[in-house]
A and B are shown apart, each in its own frame.
Chain A
């Protein structure tokens, strides 16, 4: 009885002594500002700031290795609060959202072959450059949706990725995950977009897609300062996009979209039901 109590007590005592000594000897000094900033940061660990997670970003801020405005998630308030902790000036970034630059779902486009492999765009892209005739269109296997930490991307019934903008924070993880660079980060304020990335010539696009940009230049003719047409592909010049909405109606293939009147995520999802 006594030996049991004493021996077990002795083990516990020795262990406690060693642990107590170790916690002093190997104590890690943490900057108080770092814990404060970690508490302010959203804690999503999305990696959009370029660091492994919120804790590493906070450490980099305190070490003076990172700017305060790298986090696209918390908004201006958060940056102002971090700036207060660091006694620095705040410079909020330009807010951006992800946008899928393709409207060619499986009814609008022609397929090269029927793909039955892994449900992953990168895998599909390796097989004869993807199952779509169009070399630039969205493959719709959802690599972007899997990469999104916020569940903002939906794959429609027509195998097309659509970004739900009320959830998107503009971290750009989807754009990095896409093997075809179909997803772009666009300014939140911009409403009019050309939803095509194909530089193929008009006659070629017509062969495999009902809704691709032909490069005809009618939009540029309608509103010259708002559009740029390069190598058979139009894009909106977001710095002079005030009048861009006027060209939406002239596009023969309906690949120019005004998000103010046309809610992409709803119409795309419904259209394919």
Chain B
């Protein structure tokens, strides 16, 4: 149990997907203009990441390994994740139109998100058990949401401040992201992995 908690905390704070491993930086920059859309994207990432890493874990150890075709890992994972996201999208459109509209373009964007695929592959590389990979992917999703949420708050605030002309737009956003990453370095001694 402590093992799982440790994995969870270390992936949320210490090894934050975006801010220390720079996975999934594209939505981190792209969907962080407003607090509410960033939260929607975060929830979508958490759900997809958790389901996808469970599915890919099961697939890897029960299909790829017994059949001795481990080298198909990347293409098989991409296929599984893409179909999963498509399935979730169809389900959501029927069962919860409001959430479907709120997520909008972000849901299909997740199919090719490197954070989702990265976490699935890392689960195999680090030889996690099923429960560990669930904790790992949940932590990664939560960490992503936390980073995205904080960053969106900063950018909303930034929009109202007098930014020097040459820094305006993407430049100041990237600088802010760098400072946020610097702040997250402070967590690096929290958990000994």
Interface residues of A (CB under 8 A from B): 3-4, 7-8, 11-12, 15-16, 18-19, 22-23, 26-28, 52, 55, 118-120, 123, 146
Q: A118-B161, A119-B161 are in contact. Are A7 and B91 (CB under 8 A)?
A: no
- B residues 121-179 near A (Cβ < 8 Å) are 157, 159-162
CA separation between A123 and B79, bound complex, in Å? 49
Given A3-B69, A19-B87, 15 other A-B residues pairs in contact with their CB atoms under 8 A: A4-B71, A7-B63, A8-B75, A11-B76, A11-B80, A15-B79, A19-B90, A26-B93, A26-B95, A27-B94, A28-B93, A28-B94, A118-B157, A118-B160, A118-B161
Residues of B within 8 A of A118 (CB): 157, 160-161
Min Cβ gap B187→A in Å is 29
Closest residue of chain A to B83, judged by CB?
A15
Residues of B within 8 A of A120 (CB): 160
Contact B160 A11 (CB under 8 A): no
Q: Is B183 an interface residue (CB 8 A)?
A: no
CB-contact partner of B72 in A7, A15, A23, under 8 A: A7
Q: Is B86 an interface residue (CB 8 A)?
A: yes
Q: Mark B57-78, 1 if CB is under 8 A from A, else 0.
A: 0010001100111011001100
Interface residues of B (CB under 8 A from A): 59, 63-64, 67-69, 71-72, 75-76, 79-80, 83, 86-87, 90-91, 93-95, 97, 101, 157, 159-162
CB-contact partner of B90 in A7, A11, A26, A123, under 8 A: A26
Residues of B within 8 A of A18 (CB): 83, 87
Contact A12 B79 (CB under 8 A): yes
Contact A26 B83 (CB under 8 A): no
CA separation between A52 and B157, bound complex, in Å? 24
Q: A8-B75, A15-B83 are in contact. Are A123 and B68 (CB under 8 A)?
A: no
Closest residue of chain A to B94, judged by CB?
A26
CB-contact partner of B67 in A3, A23, A55, under 8 A: A3
CA separation between A52 and B98, bound complex, in Å? 11
A and B contact pairs by CB, cutoff 8 A, 20 listed: A3-B68, A4-B71, A4-B72, A7-B63, A7-B64, A7-B67, A7-B69, A11-B76, A11-B79, A11-B80, A15-B80, A18-B87, A19-B83, A22-B87, A26-B93, A26-B94, A26-B95, A28-B93, A28-B97, A123-B160
CA separation between A12 and B161, bound complex, in Å? 50
Task: Give the interface SS of chain A, mostly helix, strand, loop or mixed.
Answer: helix
Min Cβ gap B56→A in Å is 11
Min Cβ gap A153→B in Å is 16
CA separation between A120 and B160, bound complex, in Å? 6
CA separation between A27 and B157, bound complex, in Å? 41
CA separation between A23 and B87, bound complex, in Å? 8
Contact A26 B79 (CB under 8 A): no
Contact B161 A4 (CB under 8 A): no
Min Cβ gap B99→A in Å is 13
Contact A26 B91 (CB under 8 A): yes
Determine which residue in B71, B87, B93 has the highest number of CB atoms from chain A within 10 A of its CB, and name it.
Answer: B87
Residues of A within 8 A of B93 (CB): 26, 28
Closest residue of chain A to B92, judged by CB?
A26
Which A-B residue pairs are the 8 nearest by beta carbons? A15-B83, A26-B94, A118-B160, A120-B160, A22-B90, A4-B69, A26-B90, A3-B67
Min Cβ gap B176→A in Å is 16
CA separation between A18 and B72, bound complex, in Å? 21
Min Cβ gap A54→B in Å is 12
Q: A18-B83, A19-B83, A119-B160 are in contact. Are A8 and B72 (CB under 8 A)?
A: yes
Residues of B within 8 A of A119 (CB): 160-162
